[in-house]
Amino acid sequence: MAPIDTLRADFAYQPANDSGAALAVSIYADRDNVREQMRDDALEAGMVLRECAPIPALLEGEPGPLGEVVLFDCPQVSPRTTAALVRLDERVARSGAHLVVSTSVAALDEVFACCERSAPQILVDPTQAERVVAIGRVLAQVPNLRLRELSGDDRLALLRLTEQVGEIALRLERLGGEGLSASGGAFRFESPAQAYRGPNHGVGDDRHIRAPRPALPDPRLVRKIIAQRQARARFFDAELFGDPAWDILLDLTAARAEHVRVSVTSLCIASGVPPTTALRWIGQMTQAGLLERVEDDADRRRAFIGLTDGAADAMARYFAELGKAGAPVL
């Protein structure tokens, strides 16, 4: 069996309900060969075709119902494609469908800005195998489906990503104190219900409050640390030191201290991993409450990524603790 066929087989499923109903898929792509390939992959995964059409179909006439899965290919942006994606983002968010968008590095920032509500999987210059894996991730999220396991390498990669983000959230929780909570299966930073009170809470004038939070570190220090981490790749295989989550946190910490906004493309570069992989990390870290999307009020075609207040506070405490100990930071 060919590798791509093996990957397709890993994601084949049978409906768990008695009706035998399968998920419906809507596919939109201007490139004929890509549209046909996505159609074949979706059908091989056991889905039924709701619509398979060029992108302008999203802007023409009265829209019909979307499939539970929507595949959208947008390697280049234009007023037409961005208008279609904005409309699709709204429809997907309302319907609860799962959206997978394929794009390019050049178009990534504008595509990301269009996807404000639907929380899509975004693939950057994907191979056919990566598209099949994205379909498999969608199927894995759908309840009542008997889904075969992912291939071994992909399963290990997903476990590593999820476990490492969870570990980072736990460490920052310990640093950040009461500003963190666990909810919905993912750690999220939240404002505490009330400020921390001292041991005499409820006694006397009740003015004992927690110590001031430390300031963010000097961005020049953080940039130096980032440069030192990147320098290792000149002497060793970069994969030996791969730590995308920490590189993302460092870059956003420096940017916050510099009062600079960070685009999703820039953050993908800072992560040190391929863009599609970086986007998965960014998505996981957003769900974990470490990162947040920041809209550009002056230009709706742009959006940025930043630290949540809780993550920024935890990073500040982390650097302050290291400063007290005089320990080097890498």
What's the token pair of residue 150?
Answer: 């992912």
Element holding 50 (H helix, E strand): strand 48-53
Strand-strand pairing, 24-29 and 48-53: parallel
Residue 245 reports pLDDT greater than 50: yes
Same fold, 3-150 and 151-330: no
Residue 276 reports pLDDT greater than 60: yes
Residue 161 reports pLDDT greater than 70: no
Residue 149 reports pLDDT greater than 90: no
Asked if 55 and 30 count as a contact pair (C-beta separation under 8 A), the reply is yes
Q: Is 114 exposed, middle or buried (0-12, 13-18, 19+ CB in 10 A)?
A: buried
Residue 33 reports pLDDT greater than 50: yes
Taking only the tens place, the pLDDT of each residue in 291-326 is: 999 998 888 778 999 999 999 999 999 999 888 766
How many residues are listed for the chain in this entry?
330
* CATH class for the region spanning 151-330: mainly alpha
Determine the CATH number of domain 3-150.
Answer: 3.40.50.2300
Q: Where are the domains of the chain?
A: 3-150, 151-330
Query: Can you give the pLDDT at residue 3?
Result: 47
Query: Can you give the pLDDT at residue 240?
Result: 79
Secondary-structure breakdown of the chain: helix, strand, coil percentages, each rounded to the nearest 5: 50, 15, 35
What's 76's DSSP letter?
A: S
Flag whether the pTM goes above 0.85.
no
Q: What Rg value do the Cα atoms of the chain yield, rounded?
A: 22
What's 209's DSSP letter?
A: B
Query: Can you give the pLDDT at residue 233?
Result: 83
The CA distance from 330 to 317, in Å, is 16
From 10, 82, 92, 93, select the one nearest 46 (Cα to Cα).
10
State the DSSP string of 4-37: HHHHHHHT-EEESSTT----EEEEEESSHHHHHH
What's the token pair of residue 69?
Answer: 């899965």
The CA distance from 154 to 264, in Å, is 24
**Residue of 188 and 81 predicted with greater confidence:** 81
Measured between alpha carbons, how far is residue 285 from residues 38, 72, 74, 307 in Å?
28, 24, 25, 10
The CA distance from 89 to 95, in Å, is 10
Query: Can you give the pLDDT at residue 168?
Result: 59
The CA distance from 243 to 298, in Å, is 34
Asked if 141 and 259 count as a contact pair (C-beta separation under 8 A), the reply is no
User: Residue range 106-115: average pLDDT?
Assistant: 96
Three-state secondary structure of 250-297: HHHHHHHHHCCCEEHHHHHHHHCCCHHHHHHHHHHHHHCCCEEEEECC
Asked if 319 and 217 count as a contact pair (C-beta separation under 8 A), the reply is yes
